[in-house]
Amino acid sequence: MSNLLVVDVGNTNIVLGVFRGNALVSSWRLATARERTSDEYGILARQLIGEAFSDAFEGAIVSSVVPPLNHSIASMIRKFFGMEALFVEPGVKTGIAIHTDNPAEVGADRIVNCVAAHAEYGGPAIIVDFGTATTFDVVTHDARYIGGVIAPGLTISAEALFARAARLPRVDIRRPESVIGTNTIVNMQSGVYFGYLGLVDGILGRMKREVPDVRAVVATGGLASLLAPDSEHIEYVDDDLTLKGLKIVYERNHAPRRGRK
């Protein structure tokens, strides 16, 4: 059974995944470091992937929101895995029609998320991706991307508080047992957690009023599992949504030709 390498390049992390057939069998997370060379990324990736998979790969696909790293990632895949990677960019068949003012500016990861959510849940669907920024995206029942929202990520919001308030300590981002805290640390944790949850649910509530008959609200990204249980609107958490979408896009661009024997 053939293996497919999928790579999601984000501002904070690079996620590598391997599909064997239809199953995502392994995934790994690397810190995004723009100063790393293709060789450095290749050695890290080969150590992680090579220990688990000795079989050849049939292909590789990449979504990236960090253009300066695209050349390094492409070179890494070419040199260490012997393949030319397919990058999700204008001209690649995704199955999603982009109905925005400037389709070229929509992040590849957002489109890939919509591909996976529409394939699994149908539409209209709203996808919330908790990354460096938190993005909210809408895909319709007929697979049109009609826009979304970009908000500062939870970690960015917390870091701003720590940096600008000299007397406040740095605290872990976690759910406190109650909203009302009895000490400074719990006060801060409550403000960060429930304050951000209010932002998420506030935006989702307004989006659902603008998009009737939403079939699913799907969350993904590193902090999805932390916030989703308290959300009034998030129905599903799928940590691998982006990787699943990459696999679907790869298949749509490498469909077997029919009529040949």
Catalytic residue positions, numbered: 109
Strands (E) across the chain are located at 3-9, 13-20, 23-31, 57-64, 86-87, 97-98, 125-130, 133-139, 144-152, 216-221, 236-237
User: Within 13 Å of residue 106, how many CA atoms lie on the same side as its CB?
Assistant: 23
Q: Indicate the Cα dihedral angle 75, 79, 83, 87, nearest 10°.
A: -10
Cα–Cα dist 245/131, whole Å: 17
**The residue count for the chain:** 261
User: Which residues contact residue 230 at a Cβ distance below 8 angstroms, ignoring those fewer than 6 apart?
Assistant: 175, 194, 197
What is the rounded CA–CA span in Å between residue 156 and residue 134?
10
